[in-house]
Amino acid sequence: MTIQTGDRIPEVVLKRIRNGVENVDTPTLFDGRKVVLFAVPGAFTPTCSEKHLPGFIERFEDFRSRGIDVICMAVNDPFVMQAWGKSLDAPDGLQLVSDGNADLAKALGLEMDASGYGMGIRARRFALYAEDGVVRQLFVEAPGEFGVSSADHMLEQLG
C-alpha cells in the first residue's frame, strides 16, 4: 500500500557517504525536522541528471531558508550516489542517500519494476514533504512524467 499524507515515514536503514560509508536510519533523517525527500529512478539517468536533481541544487537555498532539509534518494549504491552528486556540484547540505535494496521504496509502496530496462526494482519518481517524520504532502509522478516532484512545484506547494 502506498504511503499517504498523515502517515509516518517507515523505519528503514539507508546508506550515505560522509567520512566513509555509513548507515543512517529514517528516524535520524526525519524526526524533529522538516524534510523534502525526492526519489529518482536512477542516478546518471537522463531526466534525473538533466532536470530533477539539478532543480533541487538550483533551489537548495530556497528550501534551507525555510528550515527544510533536502534529501535525494535512489536505488543505487552509495558510491554511485556520491559520484553523481559530485558530478552535478550538489551542495554539501543536500543529502544523497542510497536505498540500494529498495527497502524504503518498498516500505513507502513507491517501488517500480524496471527489469524490462535492465534496472531491476527502482523507486518511482516522487517528492514528499514531512514534518517530524509525518508525511504532510506527497506528489508521485505518472510513468514517464516529470513535474509534480520538481523543486519548483514543491516550493509552490509549500507556499
Which residues belong to the active site? 48
106/65 Cα distance (integer angstroms): 31
121/138 Cα distance (integer angstroms): 21
Cα 32–54–148 angle (5° rounding)?
Answer: 70
| C-alpha grid cell, residue 97 | 542517500
Task: Give the amino acid at 39.
Answer: A
User: For the chain, what percentages of helix, strand and coil (3-state, to nearest 5) are there?
Assistant: 30, 30, 35
**Cα–Cα distances in Å, from 117 out to 38, 84, 144?**
22, 20, 13
Task: Give the amino acid at 117.
Answer: Y
